[in-house]
A and B are shown apart, each in its own frame.
Chain A
């Protein structure tokens, strides 16, 4: 008998409609995988009982013909999305007892479309990290690991590990500097960060509000289209949500790329770029050319400043957003020595992990009196230049193709990554510019390295043109024939 957990969302929807299996059977099959996959530490909170109840409702709906777009599909939810009556921790001690009395807009959309929630997935604490190692609940493990445990990438590491190990059909993620795309690349999966404003941020624990976007991590391009369709849309509860129509994403999958121009930014091929990645990049370019696309070298001249810009803006916004965790209204509270400031200080010092404390302090510094202009304002100006580079480039091309990450998954506890935070930050070199410019971008697997680990390619689109990304990605996926876990 086929393992129904290995089917894609699309295939499962067909199977459910044809009554090959029921939603309850599907949910139970995943619950078994969750049991077997505990070693991956992908889930922070499991809610299988509730999921089975949801699945029963889905089966009822299939029986009476009121089934919805994602009816009965078991998903994992990054533990950064508030889920009503289900603990939501942001992988932080400071929120480890927080049970939201409300639902995030994105997860509400998924529920409204009939999705089943299996549980809440591991991540870097407050989504700050690129390896899932800053989680208060310990690192998630990459299912591609062989002799040594490897990181699944981050911050949506639990999401990628769970999808790769078939512990959920697909998962939600969030992406502030690459947190959907990097873990998708490290785990041989497909993930898309849509245009800023496409998905509501309401009910997502805030990290850097001008950069945060939700998106799916899934097994293939079509599943990403199905998930993003449900997650997207205007929401009055998020003032940055954009009120424009969401097109039918799956409609782009059968498109033609003849005559499209693919931009290759020369700054993304520095000397010393991993030769295996460079070779896959060339191969991907050839695939697209063979289908009639034009290829053009473009320039994004301020690329080398993107990381430093990001590591001013993101901590600045984080320090402001995380000021709310004071131990008064919700979350963990430490004992104070009588003075209210002591209560705040003890709560925050014990409640936040080292990386979060580091970023709060960097952010506080760059926003402090006397330094605001030199750092924060300067970075906002740099952000304009980086944004304008893309807008200029998109006058010459329709979509941009780059690698997702300069490396493959690395071992947990890697000394060079942990000894110097900047080394970890450098992994985001190909992904952060996209967040600074607010653009949509997808990572999809292109092949394996010599040591058997997945590489991802990134497709960057014009604002609100996720459709062209889906079109090109579908072709690249068909040609690359990547074998998933």
Chain B
């Protein structure tokens, strides 16, 4: 399943990454090479195989839905590129 330039642009946007126009062609070729390599998996019939999602056959541990380490707004915002009034700050998105 070879991909085209349009697909490269779409995937880049879904990934929220930018590819300069002069790099689209090279990126497409590189992707097609990797995808062609992955195609070798189609040599194997897997019609009746259960997908493996987790190697350890255990139920995930659940806990009570309660606050464990709350009340630390300072620590939460410490690494924020921009914070104001105890909130993360982002560019204006609603006019």
A interface residues with partner B (beta carbon < 8 Å): 97-99, 101, 196-197, 210, 236, 239-243, 302, 304-305, 308-309, 311-312, 319, 326-333, 336, 338-341, 343-346, 348-349, 352, 357-358, 360-362, 364-365, 368, 371, 374-375, 377-385, 387, 420-422, 437-438, 463
Contacts and interface: CB of A to CB of B under 8 A. Distances in A.
A236 B63 contact: yes
Interface string B16-36: 111000000001001101110
Interface in B38-83: 38, 40-44, 46, 49-56, 58, 60-63, 72, 75-76, 78-82
Contacts of A236: 61, 63
A361 B56 contact: no
A387 B52 contact: yes
A329 to B, nearest CB: 6
B16 A242 contact: no
B93 interface: yes
Given A309-B41, A382-B46, A361 B52 contact: no
Contacts of A357: 15, 17
Given A99-B79, A382-B41, A383-B51, A374 B1 contact: yes
Contacts of A382: 41, 44, 46
B90 interface: yes
Given A236-B61, A361-B17, A368-B14, A305 B81 contact: no
A345 B88 contact: no
A324 to B, nearest CB: 11
A348 B15 CA distance: 9
Interface of B: 1, 3, 7, 11-18, 27, 30-31, 33-35, 37-38, 40-44, 46, 49-56, 58, 60-63, 72, 75-76, 78-82, 88, 90-93
Contact of A349 (B17, B33, B44, B72): B17
Contacts of B79: 97-99, 101, 329-331
User: Which secondary structure dominates chain A's binding surface?
Assistant: helix
Contacts of A377: 51
22 contacts: A99-B78, A239-B60, A312-B41, A327-B81, A330-B81, A331-B79, A332-B81, A336-B91, A345-B17, A349-B17, A357-B15, A358-B30, A361-B11, A365-B3, A365-B31, A371-B1, A375-B38, A379-B41, A380-B53, A384-B50, A420-B33, A421-B30
Contacts, number: 150
Interface centre among B51, B52, B60 (most CB of A within 10 A): B52
B86 to A, nearest CB: 13
B16 A341 contact: yes
Contacts of B16: 326, 341, 344-345, 348
Interface centre among B51, B54, B72 (most CB of A within 10 A): B51
Nearest to A371: B1
A242 B56 CA distance: 8
